[in-house]
Amino acid sequence: MIADQQFLDQIHEIQDKIFRISKRILISEEEAQDATQEVIIKLWNLGIEKRNGFKSMEAYSISMAKNYCFDRLKSKQAQSLSFKDSIEVPTTVSALNKIEASDDLNWLMHLIDQLPEKERIIIQLREIEHLSFYQIASILEIPEATVRVYLSRTRKKLRNQYLKIQNHGLQ
């Protein structure tokens, strides 16, 4: 009974991350909710002994969610929306600042939407979910150094594309 409560406490802490990762991959909020529920059920069904053997329940859960979502995408059951749906425009003082921030965010989301899948996921995990390089490497099953290289190149690519838009008004 105590182990069940500990599991529920751990799930409560990481449930939002599972949902955000699922939403980032599947785009649809309904699909992401279903995926989150499925991952939690699968974790529960693993049993106490196996769950206690994880180095990081969070990394394992996110990895499981990622794999589940990719399977859903492959089966063509997911619906498409936009990456922008999960980011909120920061509130600022003036209306002009709000418009500029909204426009900047729209361009940034457009650029992120254009990234290859792996780069998009790495940006999500690092910049939005604030996971460590080790955790991202575990989730994506790639070396930690590769995560660092992908992140660096992706940031540089986004920065250059964004500056090109700002300087020329073109994509």
Q: Which of 74, 108, 137 is the last residue of a domain?
A: 74
pTM above 0.85, yes or no: no
Same domain, 39 and 69: yes
Of 125, 137, 127, 134, the C-alpha closest to 158 is 127
Same domain? 69 vs 31: yes
d(CA 129, CA 20): 8
User: What residues contact 146, with CB distance under 8 A and at least 6 apart?
Assistant: 137
The CA distance from 44 to 31, in Å, is: 20
DSSP annotation of 128 reads I
Q: Do residues 98 and 58 share a domain?
A: no
**Cα gap 26→31, rounded to integer Å:** 6
Q: Taking the CB of residue 47, how many other CB atoms lie within 10 A of it?
A: 11
Q: Residue 55 sits in a domain of what CATH number? A: 1.10.1740
pLDDT, residue 167, reads 80
Q: Are residues 65 and 123 in the same domain?
A: no
For residue 24, is it within any domain? yes
- With 0-12 / 13-18 / 19 or more C-beta atoms within 10 angstroms meaning exposed / middle / buried, residue 33 is middle
> What pLDDT score was predicted for residue 130?
82
In a domain, 85, yes or no: no
Domain assignment of residue 136, yes or no: yes
Tokens representing 99 are: 């418009």
Does residue 144 carry a pLDDT above 90? yes
Residue 71 pLDDT grade (very low, low, confident, very high; cuts 50, 70, 90)? confident
Please check whether residues 64 and 109 belong to one and the same domain.
no
Residue 79 pLDDT more than 50?
A: no
The answer on 156 and 106 residing in a single domain is yes
pLDDT at 170: 54
Q: Is the pLDDT of residue 77 over 50?
A: no
**80 within a domain of the structure (yes/no):** no
Q: Does any domain span residue 86?
A: no
Average pLDDT over the chain reads 80
Q: Give the domain extent around 131.
A: 92-168
pLDDT tens track for 86-132: 455 455 457 767 777 777 778 888 888 888 888 988 988 888 778 88
Q: Looking at the predicted structure, is the pLDDT value of residue 40 above 80? A: yes
Structural domains counted in the chain: 2
* Residue 81 maps to a domain: no
Question: Do the domain assignments include residue 79?
Answer: no
